[in-house]
Amino acid sequence: MAKRGRTRYLRVNPRRPDPLAIHVAAQILRHGGLVAFPTETVYGLGANAFMEKAVQAIFLAKGRPADNPLIVHVGSRYQVQSLVTAVPPVAEALMRRFWPGPLTLVLPSSGRVAAAVTAGLTTVALRMPRHPVALALIRAARVPVAAPSANLSGRPSPTLGRHVLQDLGGKVDVILAAGAAEVGVESTVLDLTTAPPVLLRPGGVTLEELAATVGEVRLDPAVGLAPLAGVVPRAPGMKYRHYAPRAPLYLVDGDPEKVAIRIVALVEEARSRGEKAAILTSEEKEEYYRARARPALLLCLGPRSDPARAASRLYLSLKACDRHGVDVIFAEAWPESGMGLALMNRLRKAAAYRVISV
């Protein structure tokens, strides 16, 4: 066990979590404290969803705007019943198929959770995480757990326990560290209060998987290429600047060959200004940049055929850019099928929609 300020840092086995560590963290949660814990998507910052003061502490620790609602994590499908006014058949079908897993369902709220959780909305966002540590913690606490990502608001989400310590050390009671998050980007958020359902945030369950289960699924306009005038994102984590490294990031989109040529030119321009540049590349172009661009930092996300792997490495790569103190980042665009939709959504947000088309 390590400490920083008042934060206890407990290392736990990701498959067989230590019952004592789980008990300690569960009691803290139950009585109003803050616990950071691993999920299969990213690390979450949890509080008892029934306690207003505890939930408010999440917003304070993260510096999160109060009008940005939180996802509530449950340990069983039975726990959902008291949190919503009804569970429609479409929700039942999705829970059977994807829970536990990286899918958040938006349903009409029963009003039982603390007001700060829903930020004044009449709906509540629910999911059952797949990670053994998260499930053990929630079940031991015997309360639903409100939990956004365990990072300072606007920064890249944490996929390792040490990322949480760097951002929130001294601001939370306990961090349960259990290695790297598997998916690496946040859960998919699906609004079931409309017909057809609306995808509010792409994530660990793909649009194609959802459509195969429930039929037509619409994309919320705020998931598009850039914020639209008058369109307010309705999903947690989608309303404000998010996932951003310290250095400005530029997303370069177009034909892959032209993208690579343009990024080489951009890196040379940055070097001429005395700036250290980083490149987020696909496996196919890694050697091309190594031979021609000479960036200060070259980070390979994986093959273009595997956007899920790229998504799992994205936040780690953004953290690496921070650690190396680069001045500017250039990232290749990716195909938007499957997990590519979530990957590109996060890249656009991290770039603050600075997109260079070639």
**What CATH code is carried by the domain that includes residue 278?**
3.40.50.11030
For residue 2, the model assigns a pLDDT of 41
For residue 227, the model assigns a pLDDT of 53
Residue 242 domain-assigned (yes or no): no
Domain shared by 84 and 151, yes or no: yes
* Number of folded domains that form the chain: 2
Which of residues 189, 223, 257 is at a domain's end? 223
Domain shared by 159 and 275, yes or no: no
Domain shared by 170 and 296, yes or no: no
Residue 78 has phi, psi (to 5 degrees) of -60, -35
Is residue 268 classed as helix, strand or coil in its secondary structure? helix
Angle between helices 340-350 and 307-324 (to 10 degrees): 20
For residue 223, the model assigns a pLDDT of 85
Q: Cβ distance 47 to 117 under 8 Å?
A: no
Q: Which residues of the chain have pLDDT under 70?
A: 1-5, 224-241
Domain shared by 209 and 261, yes or no: no
Domain shared by 258 and 350, yes or no: yes
**C-alpha atoms less than 13 angstroms from C-alpha of 347 in its C-beta half-sphere:** 32
For residue 172, the model assigns a pLDDT of 97
Residue 55 domain-assigned (yes or no): yes
Rounded Cα–Cα distance for residues 225 and 47 (Å)? 33
Residue 256 domain-assigned (yes or no): yes
Residue 16 domain-assigned (yes or no): yes
Domain shared by 255 and 194, yes or no: no
Residue 238 domain-assigned (yes or no): no
CB under 8 Å to 103, separation ≥6 — which residues? 94, 127, 187, 188, 190, 203, 204, 205
Domain shared by 189 and 269, yes or no: no
For residue 284, the model assigns a pLDDT of 97
Domain shared by 133 and 208, yes or no: yes
Indicate the pTM of the whole model.
0.93
Domain shared by 110 and 205, yes or no: yes
Residue 92 domain-assigned (yes or no): yes
Residue 232 domain-assigned (yes or no): no
For residue 228, the model assigns a pLDDT of 46
Rounded Cα–Cα distance for residues 332 and 258 (Å)? 11
Rounded Cα–Cα distance for residues 344 and 335 (Å)? 8
For residue 273, the model assigns a pLDDT of 96
Residue 229 domain-assigned (yes or no): no
Rounded Cα–Cα distance for residues 163 and 281 (Å)? 23
Q: Which domain holds residue 293?
A: 249-357
Q: Cβ distance 234 to 308 under 8 Å?
A: no
Which of residues 169, 189, 223 is at a domain's end? 223
CATH number at residue 110: 3.90.870.10
Rounded Cα–Cα distance for residues 57 and 306 (Å)? 38
Beta-sheet pairing, 355-357 with 249-253: parallel
For residue 3, the model assigns a pLDDT of 42
Domain shared by 206 and 264, yes or no: no
Identify residue 259 by its one-letter amino acid code. Answer: V
Domain shared by 131 and 199, yes or no: yes
Domain shared by 67 and 172, yes or no: yes
Token duo for residue 274 = 């005395």
Beta-sheet pairing, 174-177 with 7-11: parallel
